[in-house]
């Protein structure tokens, strides 16, 4: 498992004591630095992005700084993309319980991201505007990268050593069989556009609405089986750092993940983003909005150079994801980080809210002593809250009177997303 880097005896396994020593050294190291750049070519003016490197987990404490990078690729207008760019971050942060230490905060993010995405969708829909958007939302805190996404704006990781992996799942009906089955089971009809004469053209879409995506924010004129529940993945990079490439489908329709990563290796982030866009346009031409963000996570003793091209690489082991075991998670994480392996801390893509919000061991109460809705964070009287598990098939293993709780409105939203309530699609 462990690579013998630094082991002069040539043994394959590094003694645990050495790993721990190395890790202690790395814990003392500063956080990695983050360099980033963005490039875009507009065709329809529906791509939006966010790059914010001064977010603070504890307001006023600079050592709790983290960064957010996101792409929102709108359709049927730009209102949903703009609204999501303005509101998603604050909705996610308001769903993280107060007063957590860094590790607990990172552990709370996957659930807060689900709540923040659903809240943003619900609020945008309540404005009565049409349009929808993809959202690929990346939080970088030290070596830990947390990605949440709906739609097909992909985020890839080019780890040191040249291994490219995808941190998102494409929610496209054409390619994603699982999502196609979910949409059909929730009452959506999946098919291609028929033209006069009966011929079917274009990608698979869901009807009503004709959207090619299976998840998005907004889209109130499409069925509510098009859900805003994000796929979430959290990884911890090794101390060698790595590069993230976040881009809208204008890039991915033209380039594979590998090609995008390869096209810009050795360039600093700003130039790398431009290079990826240039490469995509060369292959494909400007057919769609094309936006690319490149984020380099650079070890503190390597501030001057961008990630070197693969031929100059040390013989770091190829990227290897490791599932973490529940009891020894922290120890394992430290060991893996020390030997140059990217560790997978969390991965979940279910569209079922009950699965994504999990169980509350103790009832979460707001500071006012009331219960709060796990999605929109409004205060609830104890009699008002409906358990997210009530009446669901998951209630076998969990108690229906146990939290998290939802307000009546969010409970309706949940039922609609699961196809248990007529969707509020307006038939014109």
Binding site for Zn ion (CB under 5 A): 373, 375-376, 407, 410
3-state secondary structure of 107: helix
Q: Token pair of 184, please?
A: 């059909």
3-state secondary structure of 357: helix
- Contact (Cβ atoms closer than 8 angstroms) between residue 167 and residue 235: yes
What is the Cα–Cα distance from 105 to 205, expressed in whole angstroms?
38
What is the Cα–Cα distance from 68 to 135, expressed in whole angstroms?
13
Select 204 or 410, whichever has its Cβ closest to Zn ion: 410
Select 112 or 407, whichever has its Cβ closest to Zn ion: 407
| Smallest distance from Zn ion to CB 118, Å | 9
373 in the Ramachandran plot: left (φ > 0), alpha (ψ -120 to 50) or beta? beta
| Smallest distance from Zn ion to CB 71, Å | 27
| Smallest distance from Zn ion to CB 376, Å | 3
| Smallest distance from Zn ion to CB 146, Å | 23
Select 298 or 407, whichever has its Cβ closest to Zn ion: 407
φ, ψ of residue 148 in degrees (nearest 5): -125, 135
Select 3 or 379, whichever has its Cβ closest to Zn ion: 379
Angle (CA) 277-280-281 rounded to 5° is 85
Return the bridge partners of 75, or none.
Answer: 132
| Smallest distance from Zn ion to CB 382, Å | 15
| Smallest distance from Zn ion to CB 387, Å | 13
Select 85 or 119, whichever has its Cβ closest to Zn ion: 119
Select 233 or 389, whichever has its Cβ closest to Zn ion: 389
* Residue 209: partners with Cβ closer than 8 Å, 6 or more residues away: 219, 221, 222, 223, 226, 425
């Amino acid at each position: 498992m462990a690579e013998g880097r630094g082991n002069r005896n040539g043994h394959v396994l590094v003694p645990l004591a050495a790993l721990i020593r190395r890790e202690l050294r790395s814990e003392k190291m500063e956080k990695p630095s983050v360099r980033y750049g963005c490039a875009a070519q507009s065709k329809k003016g529906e791509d939006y992005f966010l790059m914010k490197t001064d977010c603070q987990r504890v307001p006023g404490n600079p050592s709790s700084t983290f960064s957010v990078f996101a792409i929102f690729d709108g359709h049927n207008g730009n209102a949903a993309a703009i609204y999501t760019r303005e509101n998603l971050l604050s909705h996610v942060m308001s769903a993280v319980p107060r007063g957590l230490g860094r590790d607990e905060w990172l552990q709370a993010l996957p659930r807060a991201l689900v709540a923040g995405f659903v809240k943003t969708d619900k609020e945008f829909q309540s404005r009565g505007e049409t349009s929808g958007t993809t959202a690929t939302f990346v939080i970088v805190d030290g070596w830990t990268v947390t990605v949440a996404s709906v739609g097909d704006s992909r985020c890839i990781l080019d780890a040191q050593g040249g291994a490219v992996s995808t941190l998102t799942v494409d929610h496209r009906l054409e390619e994603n069989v699982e999502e196609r089955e979910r949409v059909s089971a929730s009452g959506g009809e999946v098919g291609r556009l028929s033209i006069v004469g009966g011929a079917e053209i274009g990608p698979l879409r869901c009807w009503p609405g004709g959207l090619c995506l299976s998840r998005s924010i907004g889209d109130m004129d499409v069925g509510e089986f098009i859900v805003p529940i994000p796929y979430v993945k959290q990884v911890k990079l090794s101390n060698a750092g790595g590069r993230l490439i976040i881009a809208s489908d204008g890039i991915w329709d033209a380039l594979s993940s590998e090609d995008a990563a390869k096209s810009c290796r050795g360039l600093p982030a700003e130039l790398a983003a431009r290079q990826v866009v240039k490469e995509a346009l060369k292959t494909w031409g400007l057919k769609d909005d094309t936006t690319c963000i490149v984020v380099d996570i650079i070890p503190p003793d390597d501030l001057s150079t961008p990630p070197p091209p693969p031929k100059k690489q040390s013989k770091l082991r190829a990227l290897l994801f490791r599932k973490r075991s529940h009891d020894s998670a922290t120890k394992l994480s430290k060991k893996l980080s020390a030997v140059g392996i990217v560790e997978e801390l969390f991965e979940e893509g279910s569209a079922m809210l009950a699965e994504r919000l999990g169980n509350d061991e103790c009832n979460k109460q707001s500071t006012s002593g009331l219960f709060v809705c796990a999605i929109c964070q409004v205060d609830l009287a104890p009699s008002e809250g409906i358990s997210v598990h009530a009446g669901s098939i998951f209630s076998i293993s969990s108690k229906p009177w146990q939290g998290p709780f939802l307000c009546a409105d969010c409970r309706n939203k949940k039922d609609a997303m699961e196809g248990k309530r007529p969707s509020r699609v307006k038939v014109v």
